Chains A and B, each alone.
Chain A
Amino acid sequence: MKHINRRTRTLMEDAAGYAFISPWLLGFVAFSIIPILFSLYYSFTDYDILGDPVFNGLENFRRMAGDQLFWQSLKVTFFYAFVSVPLRLIFAFFVAMLFNRGTRAIRFYQAVYYVPSLVGGSIAVAVMWRRLFMADGALNAALAKIGIISNYSWIGNPDTAIWTLIILAVWQFGSSMLIFLAGLRQIPKELYEAASIDGAGSFRKFLNITVPQITPVLFFNLVMQLINGFTVFTQAFVVSGGSGDPLNSTLVYALYLYQRAFKFYNMGYSSAMAWVLVLIIGVMTGIVFKTSSSWVFYEAKEGK
């Protein structure tokens, strides 16, 4: 009897829990699970949105292999992710280190430095970015002030255009920075004090205490930012006006996927592209997880 009672009680508790999260659950099913399943189905069809999807097996994936723009977008995205993610993390970590020293106006600065992360995808920023990097933009004006006369269009040149997006990504370091800062505050003061007594310099302390202690946070940030990096869309979309200009040098994967779906009416093909991206991100995250045991430091392990 007692046994059944316990079972019903856990059931009741479970039900109550699900009831409480049901608004989220409903949204998750309606706006995530169902669309995801549909896109899996569409990825095996020829679907132009206006008509009905027609099953065509692996045809979309076969076409992808011969699609130059697909490979171009992959190239752009890999470059973007592998350059912008480390740069952003380094920058975020650096700023977090500065803030960790505890300036008086720290809360104010934290808020200010978070702003770029909030406005990064907006049209206003796109306009500002053009003004910075166009031929008669602010960057060239600044260079002229120090004697370098340039009318180089940083944003209009295929060799440098992607760098304007990378700089935009680095500029939006806010959320990583806050997470780093929280991590830095968790490092026990005793470790530094003990090291000081042993005569360690500040660089030594940084290398042997701060860095190992922060690796779990770094690990988290790295995974999150890698996913962000591979799925970048808004910045590329607003800065290039949705085109991937110049010469497709800013045609990131998600932007090409969008063009395929809504400009070329190839919803089936773009769904297939989305699943390929899922695979790529899965593999990348998997690699990070696999290697984590050799570089992420968990205190629990030491004390077991």
Chain B
Amino acid sequence: MKRNLLIIALACMLLVPSFIFAQPAVEESTSGTMRLAWWGNPTRDERTLKATDMFMAKYPEIKIETETTGWAGYWDKMNTQAAAGSLPDLMQHDYAYMLQWVSRNQLADLTPYIQKGIIDLSKINDSFLSGGRVGGKLYGISLGTNAVCLTYDPAVLAKAGIAEPDSATWTWEDFERIALEVYRKTGVQTIPFFTTDPKVGFDNMIRQSGAATYGKTGLGFTDPAALREFYAIQLRLLDAGALIRPEVAFVTVTPEEGEFAKGRSWVEFIWSNQFVSTQAAAKRPLKLALLPNIKNAKAKGTFLKPSMFFSIPASAENPEAAAKFLNYFLNDIAVNDMLMGERGVPIPDDVRDHMSTRVDAINKQIFDYISLASKNAGPIDPPDPAGSGEFLKMVRDVTQEILYKRISLDAGVSKIMTQGNQILK
């Protein structure tokens, strides 16, 4: 027993100095192995793996190990790894979770790597970077730009004899009129707004009223008019028979099984980076439009959102290699040629200009939409506060209660106001 202790003690003594001396060496080197994690789909996985191969061919001193899962499983995994202190060196991150992670000191500030010249941001307009900033520090770099949008079926409008909307100026009144007329003339209905995350929908209207969904504490708005209108429009359409019943709309389905893909809704509410899969499921020409304006809008509801980030966890073992890969992934024309803007419209000017000449017709529509949106966008709100997960669940529950007509519109709206302030306090 004593002997064992002695050996352990000796081993520790030997290890300690080597640790001290090894430390600076690790800091300086950009060689060795790094781990990269992202959530994705088969297309993204394939292209990202190819990007790592291209990187390793160019920088053979760095070896990249990869981990990938779907969206839901990804966060289960990352949260667990965060708790265990075994996060990868570079991870895909999302705007919704950024603040929580930063406030728990899980992410590293990227500024040192920019100062050292490992990450080059010279070709990037600052407005694309602001989403990754918390308290003046940069915790994530956007891998593509995303904006909320409405996609519609121009053939249905043509069949109903309705002119296509001017998406920069149209109002919710126009939307409602079109929805009713489409239903009257073609029988095609309207899908309830943003069934997976209704907050995205009314957030746009609240922003237009000059407020924000989230405040410093509690809700960021006191006048529920915009929130009320979000549900009132849907209820009016529902009562007219023009809205797809909630019993149908709130069944979780694959895009192919969805009412829009089946041609039973003339419209669907999505993020612009979902357009490729929405289009593939619908198998017919679609168009993109901005969300309609509210009456007497005071501000822009739409904003450009980083579709996803690359972030370096604070516990990363090889952050310099991670930074080097991040820079390559971001700025290299050849690798972006292969990635084809799958994560969203690229943010460096030269890459974006190059890409817009290369992408196919569907992606061209997205590029055009993002440039339309950037002319009609306001600044992005701060990342979601702690408690937002519970808030979104509550909002979705109340949305169902209203549309299933379990509670009245007024009761539902005041429930969101009071419970929202409680949850987010």
Spell out A's residues near B (CB within 8 Å): 48-51, 127, 130-131, 134-135, 152-153, 155-158, 239-243, 245-248, 259, 262-266
Contact = CB atoms under 8 A, between A and B. Distances in A.
B252 A240 contact: yes
Contacts of A153: 245, 247-248, 251
A63 to B, nearest CB: 12
Contacts of A245: 250-252, 400
B248 to A, nearest CB: 5
A157 B76 CA distance: 29
Nearest to B83: A49
A265 B393 CA distance: 13
A156 B252 CA distance: 9
Among A50, A130, A156, A265, the one with the most B-chain Cβ atoms within 10 Å of its Cβ is A50
A301 B172 CA distance: 78
Interface string B55-91: 0000000000000000010011001101100000000
B251 A248 contact: no
A247 B393 contact: no
Contact of B406 (A49, A240, A247, A262): A247
A157 B254 CA distance: 19
A266 B251 CA distance: 27
Contacts of A48: 100, 104, 386
A262 B78 CA distance: 10
Given A153-B245, A158-B404, A246-B404, 15 more contacts: A48-B104, A49-B79, A50-B100, A50-B106, A127-B254, A127-B257, A135-B245, A155-B251, A240-B252, A246-B247, A247-B401, A264-B390, A264-B393, A265-B389, A266-B390
Contact of A243 (B106, B247, B252): B252
A298 B83 CA distance: 50
Contacts of A241: 252
B396 interface: yes
Contacts of A246: 246-247, 250-251, 400, 404
Interface string B233-271: 000000000000111111111100100000000000000
B397 interface: yes
A49 B82 contact: yes
Contacts of A264: 387, 389-390, 393
B258 to A, nearest CB: 11
Contacts of B396: 243
* Secondary structure call for the A interface: loop
Given A156-B246, A246-B246, A265 B386 contact: yes
A152 B306 CA distance: 40
A245 B250 CA distance: 7
Given A50-B79, A50-B82, A134 B251 contact: yes
Contact of B76 (A50, A152, A243, A262): A262
Nearest to A240: B252
14 contacts: A48-B104, A50-B83, A50-B106, A152-B247, A155-B251, A156-B250, A240-B252, A245-B250, A247-B397, A247-B404, A262-B76, A265-B100, A265-B389, A266-B390
Contacts, number: 81
Interface of B: 72, 75-76, 79-80, 82-83, 100-101, 104, 106, 245-254, 257, 386-387, 389-390, 393, 396-397, 400-401, 404, 406
Query: 6 nearest interchain CB pairs?
Result: A241-B252, A156-B247, A50-B104, A153-B247, A264-B389, A156-B251
Contact of B79 (A134, A259, A262): A262
A153 B406 CA distance: 17
A245 B396 CA distance: 10
Among B76, B248, B249, B250, the one with the most A-chain Cβ atoms within 10 Å of its Cβ is B250
A246 B75 CA distance: 24
Contacts of B406: 247
Nearest to A72: B397
B247 A135 contact: yes
A299 B106 CA distance: 63
A262 B393 CA distance: 13
B122 to A, nearest CB: 33
B248 A51 contact: no
Contacts of A242: 72
Nearest to A160: B247
Nearest to B419: A68
Contacts of B82: 49-50
Contacts of B252: 130, 239-241, 243, 245
A240 B83 CA distance: 28
A49 B251 CA distance: 31
A263 B393 CA distance: 9
A51 B404 CA distance: 39
Contacts of A155: 251
